[in-house]
Amino acid sequence: MARPFRFAVNMLTPGSAAEWREKCRRAEALGYDVILVPDHLGMPAPFPSLVAAAEATERPRLGTFVLNAGFWNPALLAREVATTDQLTGGRLELGLGTGYVKEEHDTAGLPFGSPRERVDHLERTVTELDRLLTDPDHAPRPAQAPRPPLLLGGNGPRMLRLAARHADIAAFTGASTDEQGVLRLLSPAVLEERMAVYHRFAADRETPAELNYLAQVVAVGADRRAKAREVASYAPALTEDEVLELPALLAGTVKDIADQIRGHRERFGFTYFTVLEPALEEFAPVMEELRGT
C-alpha cells in the first residue's frame, strides 16, 4: 500500500515576531503537515524560527530544509538540534545538505570546498550527529529517541548512498546547481535514473525512507503549456513535454495538479511534497483534494 501524502511549506521571508507567528498559524490552518525553514543568508535563521513556530502552532512538524552543513560544526549543531527538539516538544525533523552557493560561504568567511570535500564534511556531520544525539550521556538530550528524523537532500551518487544509509527522509530537488546556485532541472529520464540508483543503494533497508520532492513552481488555474514555457530557462535542454512531466512544475486546475501529484507518486515514489512560501495559499486546495488518497 502506498504511503500517505504529507505536505510542507518552506518559509523564506523574514518578518517580525507577530508576522512570523501569524504565518505559521496560517500554514497550520491550511492543513500543512510540516513547516520548514531553509538555511540561506538573507532568510530566517532556522532554529529560533522553528522554536517560534512551535509556540504558535500545535500540530505541524517543524524542520530545516535544509541546513548547509558547511555552516555548522557537528558538536555545536548537536547542541542546537537537541535544544530545538526539546523546545518544540519533539516535533523537529532535521534536514541536512552539502550547501551549494559559493557566494554565501564567501560572505560568511567560510571555506566552500570542492564537491567531494563538501560531501565528506556532510558525511562526517551525519556520523557525528548520530553518535552524539544517541549517546545517553550527551547533554542536552533530544526529546525524540533515538534522535529527530533525518532528511538528506541531493542527487549525486555519493549523496544518494549517504541518504540510503542514514536518512529517514530522502529529498530530491530534481535539479542540479552551479557554484552560483543557478538551478537547472533534470529531465524526467535522468530523475528516474537517480531514483533507481537510490533504490539500489537502499535495497537492504528494513524500513523504506519517505521520499520528498521540492516543487519549484505551483500555478493553480494556469495554462500548463504556457507555464512550462515560462520555466524553460531553468531547463534549456528539455522539450516542453519533458518539462510538463516533471514534479517541479505543478500547474493547471486543482484536480489537474492533484492528478499530477498522484502520478508522480506512482512513477517516482514521492509522497512528501514541499512547496515554497509564495504558494502557501495557492496550494491549499490541492492538499484538500488529495487528503485520504
DSSP assignment of 192-255, as one string? HHHHHHHHHHTTT-SSPPEEEEEESEEEETS-HHHHHHHTGGG-TTS-HHHHHT-TTEEEESHH
CATH number at residue 169: 3.20.20.30
**Is 32 part of any domain?**
yes
8-state DSSP, 4: P
**Is 153 part of any domain?**
yes
**Is 53 part of any domain?**
yes
**Is 110 part of any domain?**
yes
Say if CB 261 and CB 5 are below 8 A apart: yes
For residue 1, the model assigns a pLDDT of 66
For residue 179, the model assigns a pLDDT of 57
What is the mean pLDDT for each group of 10 consecutive residues in the chain (293 residues)?
Answer: 91 97 98 98 97 98 98 98 98 96 95 95 98 97 98 93 97 78 86 96 96 97 96 90 96 98 97 98 98 78
Distance CA 128, CA 124 (A): 6
For residue 56, the model assigns a pLDDT of 98
Say if CB 176 and CB 186 are below 8 A apart: yes
Kindly give, in sequence order, each residue whose CB lies less than 8 Å from that of residue 81, ignoring residues fewer than 6 positions away.
Answer: 92, 94, 129, 133, 142, 147, 148
Q: Which residue has the cell 520555466?
A: 231
Q: Which residue has the cell 544518494?
A: 160
H helix intervals, 88-139? 102-108, 115-133
| Pairing mode, strands 210-215 and 183-185 | unpaired
For residue 154, the model assigns a pLDDT of 86
**Alpha-carbon distances, residue 202 vs 153, 170, 195 (angstroms):** 15, 10, 10
141-155 residues labelled b (16+ CB within 10 A) or e (exposed): bbbbeebbbbbbbbb
For residue 130, the model assigns a pLDDT of 97
**Is 1 part of any domain?**
no
Q: Which residue segment(s) compose the domain that 128 sits in?
A: 6-290
Say if CB 64 and CB 36 are below 8 A apart: yes
Say if CB 128 and CB 76 are below 8 A apart: no
Kindly give, in sequence order, each residue whose CB lies less than 8 Å from that of residue 202, ignoring residues fewer than 6 positions away.
Answer: 163, 164, 170, 208, 209
Number of domains the chain contains: 1
**Is 36 part of any domain?**
yes
**Is 225 part of any domain?**
yes
For residue 35, the model assigns a pLDDT of 98
**Is 89 part of any domain?**
yes
